[in-house]
Amino acid sequence: MMALPQIVIDWIVEIHVEVAIFMLTLGGALVLRNLTNPEPQQKGKKRLGCGENTAKHYEANMSVAAPTQGKPRPCALMTEILDTARELPGKEAASRALALYSELRMLTERNGLSIVDIAQSIKQCPASFYSVLVSCAIKANLLHLVDVLLGDMKRKSIPRSLEIYESAMKQLAGQHHYKRAMDVFDQMLQDGLEPSAVTYSCAVGFAAEIGDHHRAAECFQRLSARTVPSIRAYMTMLRIHNRRQDWPSAIALFRDMQQRGARLDSLVLNIVFAAGVSADQLAAVEQLLAEVQDQRPPIYDVVSFNTLIKGYAQRNDYHGAAKVMGRMRDRGVFPNAITFNSVMDAAVRSMRGDAAWKLVRQMRDVGLQPDKFTASILTRALSLSPSVEQVQLSLELMREVVSQCDCMLKTNLYHAIVEAAAQVEDGSLLMRAMAQARQHGISLPAAKYNGHAVTRALAQATQIKRRSATPQPTEGISTIA
């Protein structure tokens, strides 16, 4: 027999040594296991679930109860969901918590496990667990999951309390998801829960935000039947009546506030005035103003009078607007820039351009500065009967307010001013207007305007310039050659 090479012999020896070491290690492990578990498990016995009260339920589901830090898998998942949602802020953590819930949901449905039992075994309230998940869905902007989670609670017979609904509505509204908030509100009513007065008040606002005025009115009526509505709910409904130009409903709600002792202030009064003006009920608004003028402390302010002046401007009634401004001064209410602009607008609409120019002088006399709205109104006045003085005043005003104007407004104003300068046929004024327009970045080609007027004005300016440059004859010296 041929002798084996020495290298092969050495290799066989090494293998025998390694096998011997492995067998010794395995034997030691078995001895140690018997020492720590002296009573052998019965054949077929499974590990307990999350708690003693659920042991029998989980014995049949050993395959899904793999230990994680000493807890079966369903319990570990629920614990991880809660820890992730509560300890790690942000959208990413919320999304992870929802992904873990999806895994837990499939696990329980596939193996017939109970979310309620799992929650109780780790000493958690099932409803609170779902409340956390609803918050995660809103935080992660996965809003469709809100309905899914609330549906899961219903299928698993977990009570859906008023608190979980109100919390969800508050969070959804905080992110301007008013339609979703109203969907949650509807589910609350379907569950037979009676919302609090605060929730009804919020629902009025949410419905108004999505333009569901009928639903807002319905919620307001339910709120009003329970208690005196909040000032916020009253204001929301008044704004709805204003948008709908519903003066009868607005004044009826104002009377209701008076009768029920709700707090009345200038904000309430001004919305009612706005509803009356938008419905062209100026006589009724005047009557209401006269009614509250003697109330102490006064609830009218400069906005109240400005709103009424706006109504007269819409009627092209300069005299009515001017009278209101006079009454507000008598009442110690100081007109502001909006007051003057509104009366100017009424003057221009009434074809009283002269009155508009007088008002801008009065405005400066009381220390108020014209603005871009003033410039826009006076530029419209130029189209009535422009004069050299008015064009000059318009150019000076544009220098003051040009920084307030966007490109379109600036272009339109300068177009009107240059057109007016062309109409008065003052060549030097026309060139000044065009030069100032170009200085402010406005291109105004002469061909865009009345060509004949522009040509005559430029020719006149050129002729005047040439005459001023021609030497005049000395007295007593004949100019005849």
Closest CA to 61 of 9, 109, 5, 11: 109
Contact 272, 305 (CB under 8 A): no
Mean pLDDT over the full length of the chain: 81
* pTM exceeds 0.85 for this model: no
User: Does the pLDDT of residue 243 top 90, yes or no?
Assistant: yes
User: Does the pLDDT of residue 27 top 80, yes or no?
Assistant: no
User: Does the pLDDT of residue 42 top 80, yes or no?
Assistant: no
pLDDT band for position 46 (cuts 50, 70, 90):
very low
Contact 164, 149 (CB under 8 A): no
Distance of alpha carbon 386 from the chain centroid: 44
Rounded mean pLDDT of 449-455?
51
pLDDT (0 to 100) of residue 1: 44
State percent of the chain over pLDDT 90. Answer: 49
pLDDT (0 to 100) of residue 275: 95
Rounded mean pLDDT of 197-211?
94
Rounded mean pLDDT of 370-388?
89
pLDDT (0 to 100) of residue 24: 56
- Run of H or E including 38: none
The Cβ of residue 290 has, within 10 Å, a number of other Cβ atoms equal to 10
pLDDT, tens digit, 9 for 90 and up, residues 131-190? 999 999 999 999 999 999 999 999 888 899 899 999 999 999 999 999 999 999 999 999
Rounded mean pLDDT of 416-437?
85
Closest CA to 295 of 327, 331, 322: 331
Closest CA to 419 of 392, 390, 454: 454
CA distances (Å), origin 374, targets 61, 312, 344, 364? 81, 18, 8, 12
pLDDT (0 to 100) of residue 86: 82
SS3 (DSSP) at 214: helix
pLDDT (0 to 100) of residue 441: 87
Give the end-to-end CA distance of the chain in Å, rounded to a whole number. Answer: 155
pLDDT band for position 480 (cuts 50, 70, 90):
very low
Rounded mean pLDDT of 230-243?
94
User: Does the pLDDT of residue 31 top 70, yes or no?
Assistant: no
pLDDT (0 to 100) of residue 52: 41
pLDDT (0 to 100) of residue 294: 81
Residues with Cβ within 8 Å of residue 433, at least 6 apart in sequence: 391, 395, 414, 417, 418, 421
Contact 249, 230 (CB under 8 A): no
pLDDT band for position 22 (cuts 50, 70, 90):
low
* 410 class by beta-carbon count within 10 Å (0-12 exposed, 13-18 middle, 19+ buried): buried
| DSSP of 258-311 | HHTT----HHHHHHHHHHHHHTT-HHHHHHHHHHHTT-SS----HHHHHHHHHH
Spell 420-436 as b/e; 16+ CB within 10 A means b: bbbbbbbbebbebbbeb
pLDDT, tens digit, 9 for 90 and up, residues 317-346? 999 999 999 999 888 899 999 999 999 999
Lowest mean pLDDT: which of 19-33, 194-208, 256-270, 388-402? 19-33
User: Does the pLDDT of residue 234 top 90, yes or no?
Assistant: yes
Lookup result for tokens 């009454």:
327
| DSSP of 165-177 | HHHHHHHHHHTT-
Structure tokens at 375: 């410039």
CA distances (Å), origin 469, targets 426, 455, 459? 19, 21, 15
